[in-house]
Structure 1
Amino acid sequence: MSRFRLYPSLAQRNALLEQCKHARYMWNVALEQWSMWTRDKGPTPGYVEQARQLTEARAAFAWLREGSQTVQQQALRDFDRAVKNFYSGTHRRPTWRKHGLHEGFRIVGPQTNRVVTLNRKWGRILLPKVGWVRLRLSRRVPEAKSYRVVRDRAGRWFVAFAVIPQPVPAPGTGEMVGVDRGVTVSAALSTGELLICPALSEREKERLKQLQRRLARCVRGSNRCRRVKVAIGKLHAVARDRRTDWVEKTSTDLARRFDVIRVEDLRIPQMTSRPKPRADPARPGAYLPNLRRAKAGLNRGILANAWGGLVRRLEDKAAGRVEKVDPAYTSQTCSSCGHCAPENRESQAVFRCVACGHQANADVNAAVNIAAGRAVSARRETPIRVSPKREPQHATSA
């Protein structure tokens, strides 16, 4: 998606929110009809029948007729596509769209080409029922058949054109790189580079903590509660923008420098899942500690380092050049001799092989193993480069 920042006036913001409300209303009505299906009844209305019902509703209700018919029809078409994706098994079940959380609508057809360039940095786009809205030109506006206008939780408006960019061409040098993802070091490369995803500063984290405490004392639905939520959303938007910028720049750099990029095949949704409660056998109805708070901190660290986003953008930009390697014991295996033992990794950052004495950064050592495609099974059956008859030697021995 090619996304651009919009700068609407106060009246235009209100008109945009009205269009978002109509799109959200049509989606929820379609979801309600679809949810009423039972085995003893006939099929629920599809897109064609719902479009006919929309025409009748626009003739009966003035508030619905004031909105854009294209926006309302596309909301029904988007829901129809979501249902088909759910039945095909590629997406989750469609859910309700909520006010303040799902603010956006889609435009298709000839209206997508109504973009005018004012100068090198600014342009304007004609939105239905809204008018000409200022547009920040961060790049060339592509030719698209549809675009989507959205508002994030920080109150910023964007327009995203549905255009898939071309992949980054391979350099043709034959070089290969391994990427080890971690919490302290976001991405360690087999070349020795350590990349860290930027996050909020200490002052911003303290500010966020104060706002969250203030929100807990606010009366739900009050103006003060709304202002505090906007302030919290702006801080989260800052962190998300920094993370997205780092992912885009890092993925582009790796796709331009290397022909083959190998990463760990990690199941991030399972790794960041909530720990299951542990029942206390001695006390029925009671539970034992399950380290929930520690696991929550680890989950936040994993998500803050954009593990999934980095690999996803690498697959987009370096299509067909990203290989996933089994991550089993890559952090405990020596990249020099292949000896695998838990004692090899002394700490989070220090790796010292007890067999050959090889010493390196632990994340870089794991990245070298990933680049070589070296992974071991649960029985640690990794072929080693030294004689199997050789006894393990301490790192301090000669």
Structure 2
Amino acid sequence: MEHCAHARYVWNLAVEQHQHWQPGRASAPGYAEQSRQLTEARKAFAWLAVGSQTVQQQALRDFAQAMSNFFAGTHGRPTWRKAGVHEGFRIVGRRGLHWDARRLSRKVGEVWVAKVGWVRFRWSRQVPDSARSFRVKRDRAGRWHVCFAVIPPPIIGPGTGEVVGVDRGVAVSAALSTGERLSVPGLRGTEANRLRRLQRQLARAKLGSNRRARAKIALGRLRARETDRRKDWVEKTSTALARRYDVIRVEDLKIKNMVRSARGTLDAPGTNVRAKAGLNRSIHAAGWGLLVKRLEQKAPGRVEKINPAYTSQTCHACGHCAAESRESQAVFRCRACGHADHADVNAAKNIRDIAAGRAVTARGALQPLGGAMNREPQPVLTSG
């Protein structure tokens, strides 16, 4: 825990230094200057010198990398790390990690942590010799994890040229153009009831009390169980799609904009805030962003993002576009040709074929081959 506290303290100091910078002032210190300041701080404060210099320097390296990602436009600005939430640190191997991590039995291994010694862990998979660093982290459920920094090789496609469309939703987490409907396994009914009871207990508990601490641990364990199931589903689903198909087409959804709060401001309060908050939770629980992220990592260059406009309102059979064709969340029945299908599967088929023989109009609707877009006539507004 001391390593986690020291790494978090050094990280927050670096964040504070960069927050004090303003246009017109000298640039904020980089890694070299912060590392020099860290050496001086270790001489001045004995409690900081007790910790591992490697752990503290790696926190500065992680912050420097985070700032580089921010200036590159790929990530947000680094923020504060909070005790109980961000518990972890990174270690770089002394002589190559294959000397610092060793296997004791089929399920048990141990790793060398500076100023701690050999720490045993559950050996869940083989540690490659190419690994040179690892991260130790503690989640909200109180579980410790050892994560080795290795970039796995990409999954090779089948070579058949087969294309699949994936439509992401709330009731159905991922609908495939083949007709398959996949859903993230969430909490069971009894677990959901216990979650609500724990949330009420946490709200009533006094700040700093032992009862509140116990409630937070129990709630964290239940949330961790839900997160583990979602991540496991994402890993299995993304691996299966990368192995079965050469091209995977998904909607180019702006998830960050979709899950914004509807509370508004004091001057202009929002409407249907509770319903929007529930929708936001459902979107996060479905793992939309994580699924596409893992697909792009496992099948690089084979994931195509498609404009999602009108894909759920367009009939895959005839190309007719009308909002009334989607009768409900699950039922799609074309108003022109009568074609009926599951709404999410119909959208997945449009996503699959949107770049193969169908064009996208300026308004984003699909246009079938060999003809004009069959869209219901719209009323003409005249003045006076």
Q: Deviations over 1:44-70 (max 9, x none)?
A: 433222222322332333222211110
Question: Is 1:261–2:284 an aligned residue pair?
Answer: no
Using the TM superposition, give the Cα deviation of residue 290 of structure 1 relative to its aligned residue in structure 2, in angstroms.
1.0
CA distance in 1: counterparts of 2:55 and 2:374, whole angstroms = 72
CA distance in 1: counterparts of 2:222 and 2:63, whole angstroms = 31
Q: Does structure 2 retain, via aligned residues, the 8 Å contact 1:86–1:92?
A: yes
CA distance in 2: counterparts of 1:390 and 1:54, whole angstroms = 67
Using the TM superposition, give the Cα deviation of residue 288 of structure 1 relative to its aligned residue in structure 2, in angstroms.
5.8
Task: Choose which of 155, 161, 166 in structure 1 pairs with 2:153.
Answer: 166
SS of the equivalent of 2:167 reads strand
Q: Structure 1 pair 218/375, CA: closer, same or farther in 2 (3 Å)? A: farther
CA distance in 2: counterparts of 1:90 and 1:75, whole angstroms = 20
Residue 330 of structure 2 aligns with which residue? 349
Q: Deviations over 1:62-82 (max 9, x none)?
A: 222211110111112222222
- Residue 181 of structure 2 aligns with an amino acid whose one-letter code is L
- Residue 125 of structure 2 aligns with an amino acid whose one-letter code is R
CA distance in 2: counterparts of 1:297 and 1:375, whole angstroms = 35
Task: Choose which of 118, 128, 137 in structure 2 pairs with 1:142.
Answer: 128
Residue 119 of structure 1 aligns with which residue? 105
Task: Choose which of 13, 36, 46 in structure 2 pairs with 1:62.
Answer: 46
In the superposition, the TM-score normalised over structure 1's length comes to 0.87
Using the TM superposition, give the Cα deviation of residue 384 of structure 1 relative to its aligned residue in structure 2, in angstroms.
3.2
Residue 90 of structure 2 aligns with which residue? 106
- Equivalent residues in 2 for 1:199-218, closer than 5 Å: 199-218=186-205
SS of the equivalent of 1:26 reads helix
Residue 171 of structure 2 aligns with which residue? 184
CA distance in 1: counterparts of 2:274 and 2:215, whole angstroms = 25
In the superposition, the TM-score normalised over structure 2's length comes to 0.90
CA distance in 1: counterparts of 2:305 and 2:136, whole angstroms = 35
Q: Structure 1 pair 353/41, CA: closer, same or farther in 2 (3 Å)? A: closer
Q: Does structure 1 retain, via aligned residues, the 8 Å contact 2:307–2:364?
A: no
SS of the equivalent of 2:341 reads strand
**Structure 1 vs Structure 2: percent identity of aligned residues?**
62
Using the TM superposition, give the Cα deviation of residue 275 of structure 1 relative to its aligned residue in structure 2, in angstroms.
2.1
Q: Does structure 2 retain, via aligned residues, the 8 Å contact 1:115–1:124?
A: yes
Higher relative contact order (CA 8 A, sep 6+): 1
Using the TM superposition, give the Cα deviation of residue 41 of structure 1 relative to its aligned residue in structure 2, in angstroms.
4.7
Q: Deviations over 1:5-56 (max 9, x none)?
A: xxxxxxxxxxxx0111111111122222333334565444332222223223
Q: Structure 1 pair 295/35, CA: closer, same or farther in 2 (3 Å)? A: same
CA distance in 2: counterparts of 1:174 and 1:382, whole angstroms = 23
- Residue 140 of structure 1 aligns with an amino acid whose one-letter code is Q
CA distance in 2: counterparts of 1:176 and 1:196, whole angstroms = 21
Residue 382 of structure 2 aligns with which residue? none
- Residue 274 of structure 1 aligns with an amino acid whose one-letter code is S
Q: Does structure 2 retain, via aligned residues, the 8 Å contact 1:261–1:323?
A: yes
Question: Is 1:338–2:324 an aligned residue pair?
Answer: no
SS of the equivalent of 2:234 reads helix
SS of the equivalent of 1:313 reads helix
SS of the equivalent of 1:125 reads strand
Using the TM superposition, give the Cα deviation of residue 383 of structure 1 relative to its aligned residue in structure 2, in angstroms.
2.7
Question: Is 1:362–2:346 an aligned residue pair?
Answer: no
Residue 13 of structure 1 aligns with which residue? none
Residue 153 of structure 1 aligns with which residue? 140
Using the TM superposition, give the Cα deviation of residue 315 of structure 1 relative to its aligned residue in structure 2, in angstroms.
0.6
- Equivalent residues in 2 for 1:218-237, closer than 5 Å: 218-237=205-224
Q: Does structure 1 retain, via aligned residues, the 8 Å contact 2:156–2:243?
A: yes
CA distance in 2: counterparts of 1:367 and 1:39, whole angstroms = 48
SS of the equivalent of 2:250 reads strand
Q: Does structure 2 retain, via aligned residues, the 8 Å contact 1:22–1:64?
A: yes
CA distance in 1: counterparts of 2:91 and 2:374, whole angstroms = 69
Residue 47 of structure 1 aligns with which residue? 31
- Residue 240 of structure 2 aligns with an amino acid whose one-letter code is D
Q: Does structure 2 retain, via aligned residues, the 8 Å contact 1:28–1:96?
A: yes
Residue segments in structure 1 that go unaligned for 5+ positions in a row:
1-16, 280-284, 393-398
Residue 296 of structure 2 aligns with which residue? 315
Q: Does structure 1 retain, via aligned residues, the 8 Å contact 2:361–2:367?
A: no
Q: Structure 1 pair 60/294, CA: closer, same or farther in 2 (3 Å)? A: same
Q: Does structure 1 retain, via aligned residues, the 8 Å contact 2:262–2:270?
A: no
Residue 55 of structure 2 aligns with which residue? 71
CA distance in 1: counterparts of 2:104 and 2:364, whole angstroms = 64
CA distance in 1: counterparts of 2:201 and 2:373, whole angstroms = 65
CA distance in 2: counterparts of 1:36 and 1:379, whole angstroms = 45
CA distance in 1: counterparts of 2:361 and 2:263, whole angstroms = 26
- Residue 124 of structure 1 aligns with an amino acid whose one-letter code is E
CA distance in 1: counterparts of 2:122 and 2:67, whole angstroms = 35
Residue segments in structure 2 that go unaligned for 5+ positions in a row:
377-384
SS of the equivalent of 2:248 reads strand
What is the root-mean-square deviation of aligned Cα atoms in Å? 2.2
Q: Structure 1 pair 23/381, CA: closer, same or farther in 2 (3 Å)? A: closer
Residue 310 of structure 2 aligns with which residue? 329
CA distance in 1: counterparts of 2:342 and 2:333, whole angstroms = 9
- Residue 74 of structure 1 aligns with an amino acid whose one-letter code is Q
Using the TM superposition, give the Cα deviation of residue 247 of structure 1 relative to its aligned residue in structure 2, in angstroms.
0.2
Using the TM superposition, give the Cα deviation of residue 95 of structure 1 relative to its aligned residue in structure 2, in angstroms.
1.5
Question: In terms of mean alpha carbon deviation, does 118-127 or 372-381 score higher?
Answer: 372-381
- Residue 100 of structure 1 aligns with an amino acid whose one-letter code is G
Residue 68 of structure 2 aligns with which residue? 84
Using the TM superposition, give the Cα deviation of residue 276 of structure 1 relative to its aligned residue in structure 2, in angstroms.
5.7
Using the TM superposition, give the Cα deviation of residue 172 of structure 1 relative to its aligned residue in structure 2, in angstroms.
0.6
CA distance in 2: counterparts of 1:201 and 1:88, whole angstroms = 42
Q: Does structure 2 retain, via aligned residues, the 8 Å contact 1:167–1:316?
A: yes
